[in-house]
Amino acid sequence: MVKTKKSSKKPAAKAATPAMPKPAKLVAASKPRSKGEVYKLIGEHSGNHRKQVAAMFEALGKIMSVDLAKPAQDKPKVFQVPGLMKVTARFKPAQPARKGIDPFTKTEKMFKAKPASTQLKIRPLKALKAMV
């Protein structure tokens, strides 16, 4: 019986990854934050680069536009940002021109026609209400 020699090599130690710097403490802004400031803060706290955060927001915008596009009159479209808000798109049909009484002058007048449009409503969800 032949004995094999066991290797006494130790596995190579993994290279230490540089530790992410601790993100700054979040403090309420005195004025509304700019888009760049928001991207930078999210990047610092999530460990991503600013461009990656911007790409995520762009993808979210595309997903929302696809999900909310062209709602039918009887079927509104809904998009939910998890834990934050619910966005609803509803189709409003065109309104023809009509005769009516002006509420201010009490005289009869012709009201203009209105084109068809999409109405957007944004509702906060429970978690967002709890944050404020």
Position 21 pLDDT exceeds 90: no
Q: Any idea what DSSP says for residue 84?
A: T
pLDDT digits (tens, 9 = 90+) for 61-111: 999 999 999 999 889 999 999 999 999 999 999 999 999 999 999 999 999
What pLDDT is attached to residue 9? 62
- The encoded tokens of residue 17 equal 């990854």
Asked whether residue 17 carries a pLDDT value surpassing 60, the answer given is no
Tokens of 56: 């995520």
Please provide the size of the chain in residues: 132
pLDDT digit string, tens, across residues 111-121? 999 999 999 99
On the 0-12 / 13-18 / 19+ scale of CB atoms within 10 A, 78 is middle
Average pLDDT along the chain: 87
